[in-house]
Structure 1
């Protein structure tokens, strides 16, 4: 009678057969990212921008925080505007006082209506708060694990990271096993292939590869506050134009024809150099874990 070979291995869980109920309940997804240094696993969650503080990049050897820089620029612009308008506003002080007196005579009903409208507007803004990406990060670095076993072990260990305050995280910690760490096909990204593919020229470009790489790069750029990545992929940039053209080309119909025409206006060398910078910036903030 044939016996089981002593070195026989159990079949690995495939992406199609994996049980995703654990991730669905926690609203978190395992992600597989291939970089030039190797393939790793991490976790991603989309939440309102106020749900978590995000990763702390203080002390990280990187460009200044792009979010803080934008806030400072906005403050500076506001100061300039106020300085320029101050003289005109002061000259019209009498008219302003008269207008204020007239406003004071507004009926109580009108004031109540205004307050109600403001409250409703604030409620709508809260309801429409944008969801942003969060990853398994710590102190400005992306935690990337070389195996499902190491990721599951880290999650269960209680080690510090930036997802601990997620609702339902405690339940995930209790239940997660290595067999759960299987990325869905749409959550697998091959950043290691992008530069070489772009170098091959327009006729060899893999539209799905580049489009999906742009999606994960934008998410990582935002979550890790990588200014150069956000700038390279910002609206109106050459790589953003390339992304739009590729999406049109992938959509079929007449849009595909015009999309491919737009793609050919973007140099392969320029695109590959831009993406090499993006991947280098992302790779520089990866904390590989065995």
Structure 2
């Protein structure tokens, strides 16, 4: 996200604010040099700090996420050789059929089976994932590490403890130079997921466009980085929650587009939206590892 240039101090402010300006400059320099950003997230379980970096998708390996039983249920059945339809059936082969199989008289079927085998090159025709800029967070083994104070975040970063951002080529610089004073979160990197559901329940007239738009941004980032498939699916293009996001963005722009966006928002059920977002926030919360 682009940062807004800071205002230059006036002559009257120059002396009294020189220390603050220097500190601000040092903060920006560290984050811009390392291309990492401090993030503040408010969840039902509390408010905490973490780190986010955007990199090309082929530059870093994602966090290791253990597959859930729900995701693997069909694969597990296949590995176990289970078949709902034939599990308890006894297969009977007549003598004539057995004889035909042994003597190779079922050649037509064999030829058809051979014809169905894919050519070797077909195994290599799958589309590769496009290389694009994607979010990475301070994660470890599928969990988002969130710290309840800047002091605990800095202590962890400097400790050398394992996590996924150590893959960054700029990480050694960040780990060496970061101080508590550096952990200053910009407004655009502060998210209030704990307010989303209550805001949606209040009805269309009380919806906070900016709050909900920002919630969608961080939820998409976290869902991608933490590989939360259900959240990725719920916010994917064409879904009701994506339609809500698009309508909010249109409404926030104002003008004719804003008028149309507000009309579309009126058609979106507040209860359904709040239930959908409650599920999303619950799944994100379940993937957070709170650190003191």
Length-normalised TM-score, structure 1 = 0.72
Of 167, 178, 183, the residue aligned with 2:169 is 167
Of 270, 287, 292, the residue aligned with 1:268 is 270
Q: Which residue of 2 aligns with 1:153?
A: 155
Of 27, 39, 61, the residue aligned with 1:31 is 39
Q: Point out where structure 2 has 5 or more consecutive residues left out of the alignment.
A: 1-19, 76-110, 116-127
Written as runs of structure 1 = structure 2, the 5 A alignment for 1:14-163 is 17=24, 19-58=27-66, 61=68, 64=71, 129-163=131-165
The structure with more radius of gyration: 2
Secondary structure of residue in 2 paired with 1:44: strand
Of 246, 249, 255, the residue aligned with 2:248 is 246
1:63 and 1:226 in contact (8 A); partners too: no
Change (3 A) 1:194 1:51: same
For 2:166 and 2:226, the matched residues in 1 are separated by 17
Deviation, structure 1 residue 129: 2.8
Deviation, structure 1 residue 205: 0.2
Secondary structure of residue in 1 paired with 2:259: helix
Give the CA RMSD over aligned residues. 2.5
Secondary structure of residue in 2 paired with 1:64: helix
Misfit runs of 4+, over 4 Å = none
For 1:50 and 1:62, the matched residues in 2 are separated by 28
For 2:287 and 2:36, the matched residues in 1 are separated by 22
Change (3 A) 1:259 1:133: same
Change (3 A) 1:229 1:176: same
Change (3 A) 1:250 1:257: same
> Alpha-carbon deviations, 1:141-178, whole Å to 9, x = none?
00000000000000000000000010111011110001
> Alpha-carbon deviations, 1:53-105, whole Å to 9, x = none?
1100126x57539xxx9xxxxxxxxxxxxxxxx98xx7xxxxxxxxxxxxxxx
Written as runs of structure 1 = structure 2, the 5 A alignment for 1:3-18 is 17=24
1:31 and 1:43 in contact (8 A); partners too: yes
For 1:209 and 1:26, the matched residues in 2 are separated by 28
Deviation, structure 1 residue 17: 4.3
Deviation, structure 1 residue 32: 0.2
Q: When the two structures are aligned, how many residues end up with a matched partner?
A: 222
Q: Which residue of 2 aligns with 1:6?
A: none
Change (3 A) 1:225 1:62: farther
Secondary structure of residue in 1 paired with 2:233: helix
